[in-house]
A and B are shown apart, each in its own frame.
Chain A
Amino acid sequence: MSTQQTNPMANEPSPDMIAEKRIYADWGLTDHEYDLIVDHLGRRPNYTEAGIFSGMWSEHCSYKKSKPALRKFWSKNERVLQGPGEGAGILDIGDGQAVVFKAESHNHPSFVEPYEGAATGVGGILRDIFSMGAQPIAVLDSLRFGQLDNAKTRQIVDGVIAGIAGYGNAIGIPNLGGEIAFDESYAGNPLVNVMSVGLVNQNEMKVGQAKGSGNTIIYVGAKTGRDGINGASFASAEFSSTEESDRSAVQVGDPFLEKLVMDATIDAIKKYGKSIIGIQDMGAAGLLSSSSEMASKAGTGIELNLDLVPQREAALTPYELMLSESQERMLLVVQKGEEQPVIDLFEKAGLDAVAVGTVTDDGRYRLNFHGETVADVDIDFLTNAPEPKLAQEEPARLKEASASQYQPNVADANQVLLDLLAQPTIASKASLFRHFDSQVRADTVVKPGGDAGVTRIRGTKKALAMTTDVNSRYAYLNPFVGGQMAVTEAASNLVTTGALPIGMTDCLNFGSPDNPEVYYELHQSVEGITDMAKRLNTPVISGNVSLYNETDNKAILPTAMVGMVGLIADNKNITRAEFQNDGDQVYLVGTIGDTFNGSEIQKMQTGEIAGQLADFDVDAAQANQDFVLQAIDAGLVTSAHDLSEGGLGVALAEATFPNDFGLQADFAGTTAQLFAEVPGRFVLSVPSKQATAFEQKMTETKAVVAKLGQVTKDTVIAIQTKDGQVTVDQKAAKASYQNAIPQLMAE
Chain B
Amino acid sequence: MKAAVITFPGSNCDMDMYHALESFDVDVDLLDDQASDLSAYDAIFIPGGFSYGDYLRSGAVAKFSPAMDAVKVAAENGQLVVGICNGFQILTEAGLLPGQLLVNEQPGFICDEVNLVVENPDSNFTNTMSKGDVLKVPIAHGEGNYVTDEVTLKELEDNHQVIFRYQENVNGSMNKIAGITNKAGNVYGMMPHPERAVDALTGNDSGRAFFESLLHAVDQKARA
Query: In angstroms, how far is the closest chain B Cβ from the Cβ of A168?
Result: 10
Instruction: Check A442–B16 contact: CB distance below 8 A.
Output: yes
Distance, CA A192 to CA B144, complexed state (A) = 29
Query: In angstroms, how far is the closest chain A Cβ from the Cβ of B38?
Result: 22
Most chain-A CB neighbours within 10 Å: which of B48, B53, B198? B53
Instruction: Check B13–A169 contact: CB distance below 8 A.
Output: no
With A165-B109, A435-B108 already in contact, the answer to whether A350 and B13 are too (CB < 8 A) is no
Query: In angstroms, how far is the closest chain A Cβ from the Cβ of B35?
Result: 15
User: Is B102 in the interface zone, CB < 8 Å from A?
Assistant: no
Distance, CA A441 to CA B196, complexed state (A) = 8
Query: In angstroms, how far is the closest chain B Cβ from the Cβ of A444?
Result: 6
Instruction: Check B193–A439 contact: CB distance below 8 A.
Output: yes
Which residues from chain B contact A270 at a C-beta distance below 8 Å?
none
Instruction: Check A443–B202 contact: CB distance below 8 A.
Output: yes
User: Is B49 in the interface zone, CB < 8 Å from A?
Assistant: yes
Distance, CA A162 to CA B202, complexed state (A) = 26
Q: Mark B42-58, 1 if CB is under 8 A from A, else 0.
A: 00000011101111000
User: Is B93 in the interface zone, CB < 8 Å from A?
Assistant: no
With A255-B53, A260-B9 already in contact, the answer to whether A442 and B195 are too (CB < 8 A) is yes
Distance, CA A441 to CA B14, complexed state (A) = 9
Instruction: Check A169–B15 contact: CB distance below 8 A.
Output: no
Query: In angstroms, how far is the closest chain A Cβ from the Cβ of B202?
Result: 6
Query: In angstroms, how far is the closest chain A Cβ from the Cβ of B34?
Result: 11
User: Is A434 in the interface zone, CB < 8 Å from B?
Assistant: yes
User: Is B12 in the interface zone, CB < 8 Å from A?
Assistant: yes
For B53, give its contact among A165, A170, A437 (CB under 8 Å).
Answer: A170
With A171-B12, A439-B193, A440-B13 already in contact, the answer to whether A256 and B108 are too (CB < 8 A) is no
Which residues from chain A contact B53 at a C-beta distance below 8 Å?
170, 254-257
Distance, CA A171 to CA B50, complexed state (A) = 8
Query: In angstroms, how far is the closest chain A Cβ from the Cβ of B49?
Result: 6
- For this complex, 14 residue pairs linking A to B, each with C-beta atoms less than 8 Å apart, are A169-B109, A170-B50, A170-B54, A171-B12, A255-B50, A256-B55, A434-B112, A436-B109, A438-B111, A440-B16, A442-B13, A445-B202, A458-B19, A574-B201
Closest 4 CB pairs of A and B: A172-B12, A256-B53, A442-B16, A170-B50
Query: Is the interface on chain A under 10, 10 to 19, 20 to 34, or 35 or more residues?
Result: 20 to 34
From 3 to 36 in chain B, residues with beta carbon under 8 angstroms from any chain A beta carbon are: 9-10, 12-13, 15-16, 19-20
User: Is A154 in the interface zone, CB < 8 Å from B?
Assistant: no
Instruction: Check A169–B140 contact: CB distance below 8 A.
Output: yes
Instruction: Check A571–B201 contact: CB distance below 8 A.
Output: yes
Query: In angstroms, how far is the closest chain B Cβ from the Cβ of A178?
Result: 15
User: Is A329 in the interface zone, CB < 8 Å from B?
Assistant: no
Which residues from chain B contact A438 at a C-beta distance below 8 Å?
111
User: A174: nearest residue on chain B (CB-CB)?
Assistant: B111
User: Is B83 in the interface zone, CB < 8 Å from A?
Assistant: no
Which residues from chain A contact B19 at a C-beta distance below 8 Å?
442, 458
Query: In angstroms, how far is the closest chain A Cβ from the Cβ of B57?
Result: 15
Instruction: Check A259–B10 contact: CB distance below 8 A.
Output: yes
Distance, CA A170 to CA B112, complexed state (A) = 16
For A434, give its contact among B15, B20, B111, B198 (CB under 8 Å).
Answer: B111
Which residues from chain B contact A439 at a C-beta distance below 8 Å?
111, 138, 140, 193, 196, 202
Which residues from chain B contact A172 at a C-beta distance below 8 Å?
12-13, 49-50
Query: In angstroms, how far is the closest chain B Cβ from the Cβ of A184?
Result: 27
With A171-B12, A260-B9 already in contact, the answer to whether A442 and B196 are too (CB < 8 A) is yes
User: A171: nearest residue on chain B (CB-CB)?
Assistant: B12
Instruction: Check B111–A437 contact: CB distance below 8 A.
Output: yes
User: Is A102 in the interface zone, CB < 8 Å from B?
Assistant: no
User: Is B110 in the interface zone, CB < 8 Å from A?
Assistant: yes
Inter-chain pairs besides A256-B52, A442-B19, 13 sampled, C-beta below 8 Å: A165-B109, A169-B140, A170-B50, A170-B53, A171-B12, A256-B9, A256-B53, A434-B110, A435-B109, A437-B140, A440-B13, A446-B203, A571-B201
With A444-B202, A456-B202 already in contact, the answer to whether A350 and B9 are too (CB < 8 A) is yes
Which residues from chain A contact B111 at a C-beta distance below 8 Å?
169, 434-439
Which residues from chain B contact A440 at a C-beta distance below 8 Å?
12-13, 16, 48, 140, 196
Instruction: Check A437–B203 contact: CB distance below 8 A.
Output: no
User: B199: nearest residue on chain A (CB-CB)?
Assistant: A442
User: B7: nearest residue on chain A (CB-CB)?
Assistant: A263
From 426 to 454 in chain A, residues with beta carbon under 8 angstroms from any chain B beta carbon are: 434-447
User: A433: nearest residue on chain B (CB-CB)?
Assistant: B111
Query: In angstroms, how far is the closest chain B Cβ from the Cβ of A745?
Result: 12
Which residues from chain B contact A446 at a C-beta distance below 8 Å?
203
Distance, CA A216 to CA B48, complexed state (A) = 38
Q: Mark A161-194, 1 if CB is under 8 A from B, else 0.
A: 0100110011110000000000000000000000
User: B202: nearest residue on chain A (CB-CB)?
Assistant: A445
From 57 to 111 in chain B, residues with beta carbon under 8 angstroms from any chain A beta carbon are: 108-111
Which residues from chain B contact A165 at a C-beta distance below 8 Å?
108-109
